[in-house]
Amino acid sequence: MSTYIDPRRPNKHGDYKDCPPLVVQFLYDSETIRGLSPRTVNAYYIDLRTFFRFFKLYRGLVPENTPPEEIDIRDIGLEQIRSVKTSDLYEFMHYVTSERANAAASRARKLSSIKGFFKYLCNKMKLLEQNPADDIDTPALKKRLPKYLTLNEGIELLKNVESDFYERDYCILTLFLNCGMRLSELVNINVTDINDDGTIRIVGKGNKERLVYLNKACLSSLSRLREARAALPNLQDKKALFVSKRTGRRISVRRVEQIVERCLKAAGLDGKGYSVHKLRHTAATMMYQEGGVDMLALKEILGHAHVSTTEIYTHLGAASLRDAANASPFASLDFEKSQASGPDSDKDGGKQGAED
């Protein structure tokens, strides 16, 4: 297994002690002291493990033809880490480009992980005097415009929810399209996160909390979901808002992806490159383009750390957060379950639906 993230428990990790002790210490510090998300620390883990496996191979510390996954790096200590030169890092970047076919974004992430590790050893632990990664420039990234659904496509998606747990799946789409939350944020919502004042508490990257105002469409769909959820005879997870009809437990990230994929197909929108994350782009784009929401309000709604991240939406074209939520063109849409909503999505239909 290449990662330590448990797909059924996205906020938990397993043992990553197949890495050098100082790397393990850095990962623990990143998660417990800096408060970075498990997925971010997971990326650090993978990148640093890849680098030190390459390092041993490149330095001739293991036989030349040893498969990378068989290289034990637990014995790498401070002296070997001190011996890492800038030239070694350039060789590693060449290796991941030529041998592993890493794109610029992947190479930039790996370099960021390495820079962070050596910065930790230099500045925080005072174990190194010089960071060998300081002078290496980050690979240039192509700027891509965010892909999003048009307003008509969003309406078709909401009108074509096929599920035997309609209230849950319709609410999932409604929150994505209106609030622009991340997939991990939606899955981890608890019933107690919904407040009487019409706001919802979202826990984002780095365990940072934010309040998002709910518009009429969100409140209506949430009300129907909570009523349907309370009627489940096998409700096991009393805290989770989104649960499986079959098991009564919190649904997984992958299950939400499957639900969105099925609904996109039912709406005739499959094959267009749309995904869960594209629904987040859609929410942000619609609020900016159709609702005229300013960047600072949009930044708070999306949970971006910097407004520069939010500015990718300015290619399309002073509200309070409540006004921003109501500015979404999806805010007034509220479709009741129709007789056509038939396929039984929660029955065992093979491996794809087994998780629910």
Catalytic option among 16, 44, 148, 313: 313
Catalytic option among 53, 224, 255, 304: 304
Radius of gyration for the alpha carbons in the chain, expressed in angstroms and rounded: 23
Catalytic residue list contains 313: yes
Catalytic option among 205, 226, 254, 322: 205
Catalytic residue list contains 94: no
In sequence order, the β-bridge partners of residue 354 are none
Catalytic option among 39, 115, 119, 182: 182
Catalytic option among 262, 280, 281, 299: 280
Structural contact between residues 355 and 250, judged by C-beta atoms closer than 8 angstroms:
no
Q: Residue holding tokens 């709604």?
A: 301
For residues 250 and 238, give the distance between their C-alpha atoms in angstroms, rounded to a whole number. Answer: 9
What tokens were used for 230? 């309370």
Catalytic option among 115, 119, 147, 277: 277
What tokens were used for 13? 């990790």
Q: Work out the number of other CB atoms within 10 angstroms of the CB of residue 53.
A: 21
Amino acid occupying residue 47: D
Q: Residue holding tokens 């782009």?
A: 281
For residues 43 and 198, give the distance between their C-alpha atoms in angstroms, rounded to a whole number. Answer: 35
Provide the CB-side half-sphere exposure for 255 (13 A, CA).
30
Catalytic residue list contains 224: no
234 class by beta-carbon count within 10 Å (0-12 exposed, 13-18 middle, 19+ buried): exposed
Catalytic residue list contains 205: yes
Structural contact between residues 316 and 203, judged by C-beta atoms closer than 8 angstroms:
no
**CA–CA–CA angle 177, 271, 160 (5° rounding):** 45
Structural contact between residues 217 and 318, judged by C-beta atoms closer than 8 angstroms:
no
Which residues participate in catalysis according to the annotation?
Answer: 182, 205, 277, 280, 304, 313
